[in-house]
Structure 1
Amino acid sequence: MSQLQYSNPINPYNRLHIIQNSDGTLTRLPEFYPTIPPSTTDTSAPSLSKDVILNSDHNTSVRIFLPKNVSNHEKTSKKLPILVFVHGGGFVLCSVATPVVHEFCSESASQLGALVVSVEYRLAPEHRLPAQYDDVLEALNWVKEGKDEWLKNYGDLTRCVMMGESAGGNIVYHVGLKVANQIDDFKPLIIKGLILIQPFFGGVERTKSEIRLVNDEDLSLVVNDLLWDLSLPVGSNRSHEYCDPFVGDGLKLWDRVRDLGWKIGVTGCDGDPLFDRNVKLGKLLEQKGVGVRSLFDKGGHHGMFLSNPPKTKELFDFVNSFFPV
């Protein structure tokens, strides 16, 4: 870090609007992290949504989104593909009820014609990795049971895609590998692909894009480092495989993904400090024979695919190709 120059001293806690408590927990200032309820009867929303408890002991849940044009019918002969979505926030922030996450999932259900299952997982540092991976795995097991009324009536368990943004992309990466190598345990749920939207990865060595964007407004390096310090297992650093996908045995496990024929999507932009890592990941997976599709843009910023409507539409066009007919 000594070779990097910050234009202004950045207090990452202030930037993230969080306060560290004496017991190691965080106070997330509510005025900066509003939440909204599911759209059970809101006629202005493109999709209906509801919350379902996943694990009461862990305070986890899922928010399910159903397109309105489908919800007007009690049942449909042609069921909808299932999109399991995992939100970002550096493992530390946000939820399924964060307005931008909720609205993105509602639009996803409507625009993609899918049943969207958005996972409310535990947050760090109160619950460090791999708690988040475990929660999403539990959500997939809940989906495969198909007991929820919406899943039973409208969801096609044979057409499932997992998609995650930022930290959610990291979670989908690791959970996807675990599922691929234990595929029989998740039947009758059949996953067809993984979509990693600007996935949140790191490492000990700085990349050119991280150095070039050291003071980035959306994800400066000091903020990036703090998020990893708060979320990695105690005593670990950025050389841990949860952070750096290019260490350990993780890449070897992609042989199974290749054999399953899953489609893998990786998106990014060169205005994002994570850009170089996103590009490298896509190239390495291609070299392993995995079916990779990339969506990389010039300019932009971290989080743009959720917050910028034209980029969201571009993403939806990209995602549409991942759903088998």
Structure 2
Amino acid sequence: MSSDTAPRVIEDYRGVIQLLSDGTVVRSDPAVLRPSDEHFPDVPGVQWEDVVYDAAHGLSLRVYRPAAATAGDAARAKKKLPVLMYFHSGGFCLGTFSQPNFHTGCLRLASELPAVVLSVDYRLGPEHRLPAAINDAAAALSWLRDQHATVVSVAGAHHHPWLAESADFTRVFVAGESSGANMSHHVAVRHGSGQLPLAPLRVAGHVLLTPFFSGVQRTAAEASPPPAVSPSFTTEMADTMWRLSLPVGATRDHPVTNPFGPDSPALGTVVFPRVLVVSAGRDILHERVLRYAARLEEMDKPVEVAVLEGQEHAFFSRQPWGEGTNETIRVVKRFVYRENAATSAE
């Protein structure tokens, strides 16, 4: 093939993902984007195991069960724990639950909340463009619903024993970071509008950590980032990830990208459980995230906002042992257990 007809690079995300003009996708090791001196101490007492939830697409999730579900006195061991379904970050283009930083964050969530944590892999762009990832999130929740239905209706049928023994299916929380937080929002909309039936499963809340949204009209920080904004995640990076993950030709007002865009579904009648939105003061998307929470509040949705001023986008996975992550786990623990505490007090 002559050089003038050879495929050319039309999209390049930091040398890790390249989309060629003939549709070929070239991927290199994403570990080059992470510090080479990373160290992730183990979290003792947490069991974990990988389980297939969608065989047709070759998708798995990782189940984490903390010591609180298995140790201590008999009464404590029998007490069921809330379930936290977690979707990792990566701009819809990168990541897997087995990455050491994602794994460490989920170990900490399982141990410190405590909770049964399900960390979900999903299809990535540009090989699988949106809404593939949203569909996978819905499939993972449907799998969990079916696990619950199997446990309560068919004795001895196939189900994951840790869920049967330790999971409180009436206290399911859907969480995610960045693109994973975007997914949490969209499955909330599907469920709350009746498109994603989950009964007898009960979703008690959603947790959105530095959610990844956008829009054709930029915020002030996106258009001209102030000095306080971290340079680790830029408007240009975000734009590239959207071009790699959205349907070809879609704009940043696509419904997945912009929940309040011109083609997005109206949310006024959608039933939301409690929503916790965690934003980072040094995130280029900070203003957009606060606007998202404010719009939900205007529609009388039950929204709580926590702002960590000194943190950057996706700090939870960037620094799973950092102070920002420590505070986030404290905030999420209060959010997850608040309902249970209120019920106990009645």
- Alpha-carbon displacement from aligned partner over 1:150-206 (angstroms, at most 9, x marks no partner): 111110110001111000011111111101122882111100111111100011111
- Deviation of 1:16 after TM superposition, in Å, equals 5.6
**TM-score of the two chains, using structure 2 as the length reference:** 0.81
For the structure 1 residues 186 and 312, does the alpha-carbon distance in structure 2 shift closer, same or farther, using more than 3 Å as the test?
same
| Mapped pair 1:317 → 2:330 | yes
Partner of 1:282: 293
Q: CA–CA distance in 1 between the matches of 2:114 and 2:318?
A: 20
Partner of 1:169: 181
Q: CA–CA distance in 1 between the matches of 2:43 and 2:186?
A: 36
SS of aligned partner of 2:204: strand
| Mapped pair 1:222 → 2:236 | yes
Partner of 1:3: none
- Deviation of 1:46 after TM superposition, in Å, equals 4.5
Q: CA–CA distance in 1 between the matches of 2:12 and 2:144?
A: 36
CA contact (8 A) 1:213 1:272 kept: no
SS of aligned partner of 1:322: helix
| Mapped pair 1:200 → 2:212 | yes
Partner of 2:4: none
Partner of 1:247: 261
| Mapped pair 1:301 → 2:312 | yes
- Alpha-carbon displacement from aligned partner over 1:74-98 (angstroms, at most 9, x marks no partner): 9932101000101110000011011
Tell me which moved more, 245-254 or 63-72.
Answer: 245-254
Tell me which moved more, 108-117 or 234-243.
Answer: 234-243
Partner of 1:8: none
Partner of 1:52: 51
CA RMSD of aligned residues (A): 2.5
The count of corresponding residues between Structure 1 and Structure 2 is 305
CA contact (8 A) 1:161 1:322 kept: no
SS of aligned partner of 2:56: coil
SS of aligned partner of 1:61: strand
For the structure 1 residues 33 and 60, does the alpha-carbon distance in structure 2 shift closer, same or farther, using more than 3 Å as the test?
farther
- Deviation of 1:269 after TM superposition, in Å, equals 1.9
Q: CA–CA distance in 1 between the matches of 2:230 and 2:24?
A: 27
Amino acid at match of 1:71: T
- Deviation of 1:319 after TM superposition, in Å, equals 1.1
Q: CA–CA distance in 1 between the matches of 2:303 and 2:269?
A: 13
For the structure 1 residues 217 and 17, does the alpha-carbon distance in structure 2 shift closer, same or farther, using more than 3 Å as the test?
farther
Q: CA–CA distance in 1 between the matches of 2:200 and 2:99?
A: 31
For the structure 1 residues 222 and 139, does the alpha-carbon distance in structure 2 shift closer, same or farther, using more than 3 Å as the test?
same
SS of aligned partner of 2:171: strand
Partner of 2:60: 61
Q: CA–CA distance in 1 between the matches of 2:64 and 2:197?
A: 25
Q: Which runs of 5+ in 1 are unaligned?
A: 1-10, 35-41
Q: CA–CA distance in 1 between the matches of 2:77 and 2:68?
A: 11
Partner of 2:201: 189
Partner of 1:123: 124
Same amino acid, percent of matched pairs? 31
